[in-house]
Structure 1
């Protein structure tokens, strides 16, 4: 039986970045009309991207402050896999990734006592990434935001750049984004988990992400998928799994991480979560690598055939994994996740739960939940656009409930902290509906 879902009288076209045939079919045309900044990462063939200069009078938005006891630091890292050619190019260029590593910061560091105007705040998006995001948000993600209205570089994140990590050993979480979404679009959740004592590594899958800026200013932009969507999905998922395993290998090396971070990583306690396509990647990575002890999928179809939500289910779905896996769904009408989730839920292997955040939509599981709601008034967004983007649940409650459940889940399986949130409905969080067994 599936979770109960709220009803809506408003008929919508589902504007989602899930693995869906309409998105893949139209992706080549959409990318051809994007105002992109360049192509090719620093370690691959390509051209340097011009950096944005100056700031027009644009809306500056704020993410919700992290709720945990630690301040949060963040570092951008460029990782090059010298053992692997980039799978999306017929060259000898090595696979290059950009990741953002969020971590609990040392509260004694003087940076936290500075005047806020002088603190080292990281850009939400780098200039080359921000230059493409208006087109990405509207033509790929379907958010309906006026072009040029939002300053994507200077969204306030409550995070400090390149500060020392808190003492102790901290569990590690990896994040894989949805198709067509940058890793930065999950900053609020990552920062909150870091404030609770996790090291969170958000990975951009180069040439799947809309734009990835490398340290030399080069920008790698999203490539159109192959003509056969099913073949493309299989390749994209294999690339993502290889990316994740490479990142785990890098984290295990005794050198190469800044600010003493290697000393605070507890690599015996690793989890992974992802939104949409990233949720499927999390499950496949768990099946391929037993270093990942717990995984979570935010509203992602688990099938490999975009034309058939129940088709081409991988063994990780039909046979399951022997470690815990959480399914957090949106309240989207006619949600295409249900067939594959039903198959996964019935495989009889490993701990699993399926929940629905009532009143939510696909983009509720991203920073859009807060940013679209904030922008709605100043930009006069139609109520229907806002509801299609982020649902009818209030942003405050959506963020609060998601944080509670995601943290409780990883706390249970990576820190051995008991919880009853996954055993019965909670009166504190009536917006979260558990699947009935």
Structure 2
């Protein structure tokens, strides 16, 4: 990226407000945890977070310390990407295990007896779910296996570094990927196919034609506006619309028990989204 001001992304305007007062009744709000890709900050999922928050979800985005290029703490301390310097076997497996521990810690801080957030009492601890992109998506199943508080999860284009055990994962799970080269959703990475068989509860495998790895984040939308082409054929606003719509439908179904036609079969309003069946090796 050349000719782009260093502060271009930090000056991006959003629809969120700092220190907004939480609204709702005691234990009345479902909670969704969002985990970003490796080295990416939680702000890379802002469009999705704002959508869910506007629909009455509490949304907790995690900056995974020592994995982002820079994490700033409230006291001014800044940590950098120590994980970027690691040379170790099974880095992905160790990373998702670490992220699962991060998520469990955050959940305890939010819904534990002494919540660190002033709106903690509004969260319904029986309605917690998680979504992540790339490494964040790969961490969702591991978190669900380690922490029964997470009722449902979405992996957005993340390779499954830690296999789901033969004993299976019986809670709702959705793969949301792309059809591009080397994507798990394309079938070129065998980890989704391997773990699909061990998802024993409600499950879906969706792929978005014309999307790229970054399409499930803010980056595809923002990159186009500063003249950077990440290779997708869908417009930035369209990728945001699809991500918001299908992720929201999944959580509305499994945390609010609202039927979702969008998740039952392909939609003529979303022809880019295909339902895949690994058993028959078809997407349509």
The reply on whether 1:156 has 2:13 as its aligned counterpart is: yes
Corresponding pairs, count: 272
Alignment of 1:107-118 (within 5 A): none
Query: TM-score under structure 2 normalisation?
Result: 0.89
1:211/1:220 contact within 8 Å kept: yes
2:64/2:99 contact within 8 Å kept: yes
The reply on whether 1:249 has 2:108 as its aligned counterpart is: yes
Larger radius of gyration: 1
1:370/1:395 contact within 8 Å kept: yes
The reply on whether 1:362 has 2:213 as its aligned counterpart is: yes
2:173/2:199 contact within 8 Å kept: no
Q: Find the partner of 2:266 among 407, 413, 425.
A: 425
Aligned to 1:207: 66
Aligned to 2:46: 187
- Measure, in 2, the Cα distance between the counterparts of 1:229 and 1:189: 33
1:268 Cα offset (Å): 1.0
Q: Deviations over 1:163-220 (max 9, x none)?
A: 2112232100111111111111111111111001100101111001111001222210
Q: Deviations over 1:30-49 (max 9, x none)?
A: xxxxxxxxxxxxxxxxxxxx
Provide the secondary structure at the position in 2 that maps to 1:273. strand
Aligned to 2:168: 320
Aligned to 1:115: none
- Measure, in 2, the Cα distance between the counterparts of 1:241 and 1:331: 27
> Taking CA–CA contacts closer than 8 Å with sequence separation of 6 or more, which of the two structures ends up with the larger relative contact order?
1
Query: TM-score under structure 1 normalisation?
Result: 0.59
Alignment of 1:283-298 (within 5 A): 283-298=141-156
- Measure, in 1, the Cα distance between the counterparts of 2:230 and 2:87: 33
- Measure, in 2, the Cα distance between the counterparts of 1:200 and 1:233: 25
- Please identify runs of 4+ aligned residues in structure 1 that moved more than 4 A: none
Aligned to 1:329: 177
The reply on whether 1:352 has 2:203 as its aligned counterpart is: yes
- Measure, in 1, the Cα distance between the counterparts of 2:155 and 2:132: 5
Gaps of 5+ in 2: none
- Measure, in 2, the Cα distance between the counterparts of 1:254 and 1:344: 35
CA shift in 2, pair 1:145/1:206, >3 Å: farther
CA shift in 2, pair 1:229/1:371, >3 Å: farther
1:275/1:365 contact within 8 Å kept: yes
1:320 Cα offset (Å): 2.9
CA shift in 2, pair 1:205/1:435, >3 Å: same
Q: Find the partner of 1:268 among 109, 126, 131.
A: 126
Q: Find the partner of 1:372 among 223, 236, 248.
A: 223
More moved, 427-436 vs 358-367: 427-436
